[in-house]
């Protein structure tokens, strides 16, 4: 699963700009477009802000996996470290809490 995080202020700025640029020659199309963009603006206003502190960069994940793998007795030096998705979830939660 890929997670893409886009700053909500960035989206809101572009929605407003697209509404401003919209050509009003075809009034039916213009009205529908503005209604759709207004709906997006309303959704952005109602959605809670995303907590960016909850995100891990690829480097953060790599570091957490290595640190956890170094103290895991299942692995010896030179072994390939393999964890299930559930184990990775638990390891990242440990890293967030500062336990690694």
The secondary structure element, H or E, covering residue 28 is helix 27-46
Q: Which of 61-65, 70-74, 76-80 has the lowest mean pLDDT?
A: 76-80
Q: Is residue 3 part of a domain?
A: no
Q: The pTM is what? A: 0.46
SS3 (DSSP) at 12: helix
Give me the pLDDT at residue 25, please.
Answer: 64
Same domain, 47 and 70: no
- State both tokens at 15: 């929605």
Question: Do 99 and 90 touch, CB atoms closer than 8 A?
Answer: no
Higher per-residue confidence, 64 vs 77: 64
Give residue 72's domain range. 56-97
pLDDT for residue 2 is more than 60? no
Same domain, 75 and 47: no
Q: Is residue 67 part of a domain?
A: yes
Same domain, 36 and 69: no
Q: How many CB atoms lie within 10 A of CB 91?
A: 20
Q: Is residue 2 part of a domain?
A: no
Name which of 13, 84, 8 is nearest 43 in CA terms.
Answer: 8
Give me the pLDDT at residue 38, please.
Answer: 81
């Amino acid at each position: 699963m890929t997670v893409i995080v886009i700053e909500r202020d960035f989206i809101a700025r572009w929605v407003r700009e697209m509404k401003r640029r919209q050509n009003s020659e075809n009034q039916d199309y213009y009205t529908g477009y503005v209604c759709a963009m207004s709906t997006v603006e309303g959704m952005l206003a109602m959605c809670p802000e995303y907590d960016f502190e909850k995100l891990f960069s690829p480097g953060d994940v790599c570091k957490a996996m290595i640190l956890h793998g170094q103290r895991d007795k299942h692995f010896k030096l030179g072994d390939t470290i393999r964890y299930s998705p559930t184990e990775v979830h638990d390891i990242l939660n440990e890293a967030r809490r500062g336990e690694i």
